[in-house]
Amino acid sequence: MTSLKWGEVGQSLKAKLSLLITAVLVLAILLVVIVLLRQQQESLTVEMTKRGRAIAENLAAGAKTSLLQRDDLTLTVLVKDAMKDSDVAYIIITDEKGQIRAHSDISQIGEDVHRPAPLAPASDEITVTSYRLPSRAGIIDFAVPLTFSRVRLGALYLGFSEESIVAALGKARRQAGLVTLGMVSLGIAAAVGLATLLSRPIFRLVEGTRAIAAGDLKVSLPITSHDELGTLTQAFNQMVKSLSEKEMIKRAFSRYVAREVVEEVLKDPEQLQLKGERREVTVLFCDVRGFTPMSERLTPEQVVSLLNDYYTLMIELTFKHDGTLDKFLGDGVMAVYGAPIFYPEHALHACRAALAMQSGVERLSAERVAAGKEPIVIGIGVNAGEVVAGTVGTEERMEYTVIGDNVNLASRLTSNAKPGQILISRRTLDLVRDAVDVRALGGIHVKGKDEEIEAYELVGLRALASGGKK
């Protein structure tokens, strides 16, 4: 595994955090600047509109008398004086017929007034319209009706330039740009510092995670803060401790117990009783008949190959039917159903497994014959009853197993089974009577028992039970 280096991951993380924090800061500053500039623009526009309206109303008051007296010279003087204001773009004074009597552009005097869109002739009230000329800044147009004693004398049109607003906004933008640049510079420095502070504990968590992935469950990270990152580090250490405890259980059982059983144990390992306890289980023994003379005829390599194929099949079928592989006995296998995880139908699981083993060995034997090898045949014994289940051994070496007379009886049934036969006890039959087909063998003598025991040959599963695991 490639060694994790700060330069490869930490710096990248720090750069990403720095960029993210800086981007957020710049975005926030830009949003504030845009809002402030827009507010300033609106404020300047309102103030300029008020100023232009005041000028237009003053001009209109002076123009009324001159229009009554047809004093065009005075009107021209009024326009000329008003144009001294740099913000005034144009002034037009017309008579009641719309003929221009005074204009900031003298050449237009005497012409009919022409109002380009979106401008309209003056109405009964002062109208204010904003528009933009092709080669100039925006214009605020004021159209003022000129009336005397409710008699329409004409109209006054005043254009107020927004160039001063544009200039003020440009200055404000330059100032805001300088302020933004300064704030961003400080923000970048703060972002780099904060990113470094955040990325170091994250980098340690990454290193710890890599160590766990490599199988090191002794990782313990230092808790350097009491914030969320400190809480996360503490949770990481607790997780490692929990994984370590579960790993010990998994290592102890994964070679002997089906994966589903291991997962069940890991859900609540504290509830698992590994000390000796009495419980009812079903024990299955299976061995290869005639293995000793067969092994004498085979080479050591052929014997190992045979056992590997045989054990692989037995382990797979034991686990498939929720059994626990207790031990290998030379050419034999001992499996337990109902321990360490108890389930009510342990006897039925064992019978299903026995029939599956019988069929599996028949297929394996056929494959060996087709390959020019010797066939193999097995005998199986199954017995249900009370045993003592738990760990036995010393601190240096121990194993989980079941012991008791019912274990011995299962072994004796296996010894009495003919090649290819499955023998079950009366107690086993009582637990699975409605689910299996058997053939009664009557009483048989087994080693270690003075009296005969009832034995039955397991023939198959009934339709009621065939829907389960096979």
Nearest to 231 by CA among 213, 257, 205: 205
**3-state DSSP call for residue 208?**
helix
DSSP 273-325: --S-EEEEEEEEEEEETTHHHHHHHS-HHHHHHHHHHHHHHHHHHHHHTT-EE
The whole-number pLDDT of residue 6 equals 42
The whole-number pLDDT of residue 375 equals 93
Q: What are phi and psi of 373, to 5 degrees?
A: -110, 170
CA distances from 138 to 79, 89, 194, 284 (A): 21, 10, 46, 98
* Residue 299 to residue 303: CA distance in whole angstroms: 6
- Is the torsion defined by CA of 35, 36, 37, 40 positive or negative? positive
The whole-number pLDDT of residue 134 equals 67
Name every residue whose Cβ is closer than 8 Å to that of residue 212 and which is 6 or more positions away in sequence: 219, 240, 243
Sketch the domain layout of the chain as residue ranges. 6-166, 270-461
The whole-number pLDDT of residue 2 equals 43
Which superfamily does CATH assign the domain made up of 270-461 to?
Nucleotide cyclase, GGDEF domain (3.30.70.1230)
The whole-number pLDDT of residue 470 equals 41
The single residue listed with the structure tokens 């004398």 is 153
Instruction: Let me know how long the chain is.
Output: 470
The whole-number pLDDT of residue 395 equals 59
The whole-number pLDDT of residue 354 equals 96
* Residue 122 to residue 95: CA distance in whole angstroms: 12
- Tell me: the pLDDT tens digits for 209-230? 888 777 777 787 887 777 777 7
* Residue 347 to residue 362: CA distance in whole angstroms: 23
The whole-number pLDDT of residue 231 equals 82
* Residue 51 to residue 206: CA distance in whole angstroms: 66
Q: How many C-beta atoms lie closer than 10 Å to residue 114's C-beta?
A: 10
| pLDDT lower than 50: segments of the chain | 1-10, 468-470
CATH class of the structural domain 6-166? alpha beta
